[in-house]
Structure 1
């Protein structure tokens, strides 16, 4: 069986990839999401287990659907 990275690590990498593609710093992105910058950093490092509301806030801030945010995970 192929070993896959933990879902939190994969999700964090996806958020970082999309955030950077939109040109946001962690600080500006966190403000757009209504979350703390250190929380966004924890997400991107795979250290945070997010609530669904926060996942929805991230998708909205990126102006993408939840399914697009989760693509490839």
Structure 2
């Protein structure tokens, strides 16, 4: 289940980033995280901390709830 949740979260982050017209480099710079780390997050390969999730959400201009609504319930 953990891998599915991480992939879904990463996908939601990617969708939000692309909707804003940003590259991974743009978002990583705004969230003050490494671009390769962000790439791993978007691919569901990184189990990010809540703090990093908050940094990403702040950079995207959204709430944590916007990215996590229905998780993990809608995976089943």
TM-score with structure 1 setting the length: 0.89
Structure 1 residues 1-73: aligned runs within 5 Å: 6-73=4-71
Q: What are the Cα deviations for residues 22-73 of structure 1, in whole angstroms up to 9, with x where unaligned?
A: 1110001100000000000000110000011000001100101111121243
Runs of 4+ in structure 1 over 4 Å off: none
- Structure with a larger share of its residues in helix: 2
| Structure 1 portions without partners, runs of 5+ | none
TM-score with structure 2 setting the length: 0.85
